[in-house]
Homo-oligomer: A and B are copies of this chain.
Amino acid sequence: MQADEAVTAAPRLTRKGQATRDRIAAAAAALMFERGVAGTSIEDVQAAAGVSPSQVYHYFKDKKSLVKAVIAFQTTQVVQAFGAVEPRYSRLDSMEALRAWRDFAVNLERSLNYAGGCPIGSLGSELAESDAEARREVAAGFALWERSVVEGLRAMRERGELRSDADPRRLGLALLTMLQGGLLLTQIRRDTAALEAGMDAMLDHIESHLIPA
């Protein structure tokens, strides 16, 4: 499944139309990351994207449908940056790649001054109880992300590097869960101590399942 498949119920757009729509979604994503969904109005988005109010409503029938596009946008961003495609940590299929991934997360949070939390986790936290459809979209985004993390661990096991009692599915889910907790606590504490302690513990735990070479 493509992360943005869920939002293409809209009529087919021209290339220019698609570019405008994407620009509006990106502007909304940036504002909602900074201020939350409740703190972002259609007017704010319109001003930030440099379009007219009628243009926003041409592409998104209401704020809810804009939020849906933001979830799709942020899922794509997160899976690209933190999934298994970034060359830096290749397929997350070695301890070196996993440790580099951990460092990437810590450094990214520092560069963001510890603000914002996880782009999709915080949307999920804000919307889960008020917008069931948004909650499901965020859950689908996580499922996509989770698969890319599990895949790396599965490759390690298939190559005989991880013991047979290491369950890539459960370990991958636990790793993503720790990353979520770490990003949330980074946002709350304004430091990366929890993210570092948490990721190090999980990576040590995964490493303890390695078969000595």
Q: A residues within 8 Å of B by Cβ? A: 34-36, 38-39, 115-117, 121-122, 124-126, 128-130, 135, 138-139, 142, 170-171, 173-174, 176-182, 184-185, 187-190, 193-195, 197-198, 200-202, 204-205, 208
Contact = CB atoms under 8 A, between A and B. Distances in A.
A170 B205 CA distance: 14
B173 A142 contact: no
Copies in the complex: 2
A36 to B, nearest CB: 6
A91 to B, nearest CB: 21
A130 B124 CA distance: 17
Given A34-B129, A129-B35, A198 B178 contact: yes
Contacts of A128: 115, 117, 187-188
B180 A184 contact: yes
